[in-house]
Amino acid sequence: MEKIDVAIVGAGLAGLSCAYKLAEKGFQVIVVERGDFPGSKNVTGGRLYLMPIKPLINDMLDEAPFERKVVREQWSLFGKEHSINIDFTGDRFRAQDHSFTILRAHFDRWLSEKLTAKGVFVIPKYRVDDLLWENGAVAGIKAGSEEIYAHVVVASDGVLSSIAEKAGLRPKMAPKNYAIGMKEVIELPEEKINDRFNVESAEGCAHLYLGDVTKGIFGGGFLYTNRNTVSIGVVAGIKAFMGKTPPIDAYALLDNFKERYEIKRLLDGGNLVEYAAHIIPEGGYNGISRLYGDGILVTGDAAGFALNMGVTVRGMEFAIASGVIAAETIIHAKERGDFSSKTLSFYERRLKETFVLQDIEACKEMPEFLENDDFFVFYPERFPGFLEKAMWFGESPKGKVGKTLWNELKSSGMLGFRRLKELYRIKNL
Ligand SMILES: Cc1cc2nc3c(=O)[nH]c(=O)nc-3n(C[C@H](O)[C@H](O)[C@H](O)COP(=O)(O)OP(=O)(O)OC[C@H]3O[C@@H](n4cnc5c(N)ncnc54)[C@H](O)[C@@H]3O)c2cc1C
């Protein structure tokens, strides 16, 4: 049976990055993608952190179609009728290439064209249905009537990876391990974006929202500026959705979010150019699948490599890094002439030496911590409420502001034992 070196399932960032590294070493690689083109089925909020992956990628992202460099961070707490906004910028963020906004339909397509120029076959419109086996080891892929034999199969097929499941590396997951994200891309003139978000051209803003955005469900909103579009969306935990009575319509969350006073004026006059919905892994460290088997490796979302840190969602740099490290592993395995799980276990060892498994492990307690409703209901309602009390000058005498706030604080329950204990847990995150 003639075999190619590597068959990669899925042309997202994990699959493409793996192929890129292998192509540099002259490996025979194919990437099979079910979408019309790489990027057509890939969804992200849109912010890629570059620093962690720099040591791994060499020139891979030179001349990449980044939208804007993020130099402004904003976080908002949305109560039902009021909100607080924190706005941060720093010289370091402007001076260095810390993070960029991207649009996957452009970005992934660009990367796959770069791969094609290096001799990699990226085959769109092909859905891999099954794995081929030989003596108990994975030996290739099956797409319709086509069979492709390979020394190693890389499962880069995203969050609901059927390939990892078929290889027996991933158990069926529970709803609490997933969130759903709804996203729109809205076109606005570049100068309007610069003015409304207080940035120069090529500079961008990343804005995250907690509170009434998700109507009490675990999750939040995001808004990222691109060159002449903005990406806006809402992410919400699937288990929390299922528990809501009366049920909440997922898409209505995004509609309501866009109708908020604080948001509406930012989008005014914009045209909707793209809409997408997608699942996000939320299981954290405990949601990670087995990462290797005989003849197979699992990368990116397929492995569960994503991190919701409350103040930001990270997945893309994990996808890229795990793709590159999977390629390093395959190079090592080819040198040994052995593609068994024993040699491929090098992958997990390398991941443990990098931010991929170190960061996800460090945030092990995050999923459970974020299950606390207080972060999505209580604090977003109370904090803006305090400020309203301080800022409001009505018909009756104002009295002592400090005393009013202290009384509010005491009666709110914020200083109660349970809440203080919860806050104390922050040190473990
Ligand atoms: C709403 C939302 C907001 C997010 N925000 C951010 C953010 O701001 N920053 C960040 O870093 N991360 C963010 N993430 C997470 C990030 O987008 C993912 O972690 C990342 O896209 C994972 O890349 P991947 O290559 O592993 O998977 P994907 O990009 O999902 O690629 C998987 C590919 O496999 C293909 N495929 C699947 N099955 C098959 C099959 N059987 N045969 C052939 N092809 C197949 C799919 O079509 C797809 O192209 C967000 C995610 C969502 C949904």
Q: Which protein residue has the closest C-alpha to ligand 1 atom 33? A: 10
Distance in Å, CA 302 to ligand 1 centroid? 9
Q: What confidence tens digit (pLDDT) does each residue in 93-141 have?
A: 999 999 999 999 999 999 999 999 999 999 999 999 999 999 999 999 9
Predicted confidence at residue 413, as pLDDT, reads 80
Distance in Å, CA 307 to ligand 1 centroid? 13
* Ligand 1 atom nearest residue 235's Cα: 1
Against a cut of 0.85, is the pTM above it? yes
Tokens of 194: 């610069």
**Interatomic CA distance for residues 41 and 296, integer angstroms:** 23
Predicted confidence at residue 379, as pLDDT, reads 85
**Interatomic CA distance for residues 105 and 107, integer angstroms:** 6
The partner residues of 275 in beta bridges, in order of sequence, read 184
Predicted confidence at residue 364, as pLDDT, reads 86
Contact predicate 425/365, CB 8 Å: yes
* Ligand 1 atom nearest residue 32's Cα: 43
Show the low-confidence residues of the chain (pLDDT under 70): 310-311, 429
Q: Which protein residue has the closest C-alpha to ligand 1 atom 19? A: 315
In order, the DSSP letters of 327-370 are HHHHHHHHHHT--SHHHHTHHHHHHHHSHHHHHHHHTTTHHHHT
**Interatomic CA distance for residues 8 and 30, integer angstroms:** 6
227: DSSP letter = S
Amino acid at position 27, single letter: F
**Interatomic CA distance for residues 378 and 415, integer angstroms:** 13
* Ligand 1 atom nearest residue 42's Cα: 29
**Interatomic CA distance for residues 104 and 160, integer angstroms:** 19
Q: Which protein residue has the closest C-alpha to ligand 1 atom 27? A: 158
In order, the DSSP letters of 305-334 are --EE-SS-EE-HHHHHHHHHHHHHHHHHHH
> Rounded to 10 degrees, what is the CA torsion of 334, 338, 340, 342?
-100
Distance in Å, CA 12 to ligand 1 centroid? 6
Predicted confidence at residue 404, as pLDDT, reads 80
**Interatomic CA distance for residues 405 and 95, integer angstroms:** 40
Q: What are phi and psi of 339, to 5 degrees?
A: -110, 25
**Interatomic CA distance for residues 201 and 194, integer angstroms:** 6
Q: Which protein residue has the closest C-alpha to ligand 1 atom 15? A: 315
Ligand 1 pocket: which residues have CB below 6 Å? 9-15, 32-35, 41-48, 127-128, 156-158, 162, 181, 183, 233, 235, 278, 280, 300-302, 306, 313-317, 319
Mutate to test the pocket of ligand 1, among 234, 274, 280 (most ligand atoms within 8 A of CB): 280
Q: How far is CA 418 from CA 180, 372, 385, 405, 421, in A?
A: 29, 11, 21, 21, 5
Distance in Å, CA 263 to ligand 1 centroid? 26
Q: Which protein residue has the closest C-alpha to ligand 1 atom 35? A: 10
Distance in Å, CA 155 to ligand 1 centroid? 12
Distance in Å, CA 157 to ligand 1 centroid? 8
Mutate to test the pocket of ligand 1, among 37, 112, 127, 301 (most ligand atoms within 8 A of CB): 301
3-state secondary structure of 248: coil
Q: What are phi and psi of 224, to 5 degrees?
A: -120, 140
Q: Is the C-alpha dihedral spanning 225, 230, 236, 238 positive or negative?
A: negative
* Ligand 1 atom nearest residue 162's Cα: 41
Distance in Å, CA 162 to ligand 1 centroid? 14
Strands 99-101 and 83-89, sheet pairing: unpaired
Predicted confidence at residue 396, as pLDDT, reads 85
In order, the DSSP letters of 159-220 are TT-HHHHHTT-SPPPPGGGEEEEEEEEEE--HHHHHHHHT--TTEEEEEEEEEGGGTTSSEE
Amino acid at position 78, single letter: F
Predicted confidence at residue 310, as pLDDT, reads 64
* Ligand 1 atom nearest residue 306's Cα: 19
Distance in Å, CA 159 to ligand 1 centroid? 7
Tokens of 421: 């204990």
Contact predicate 365/429, CB 8 Å: yes
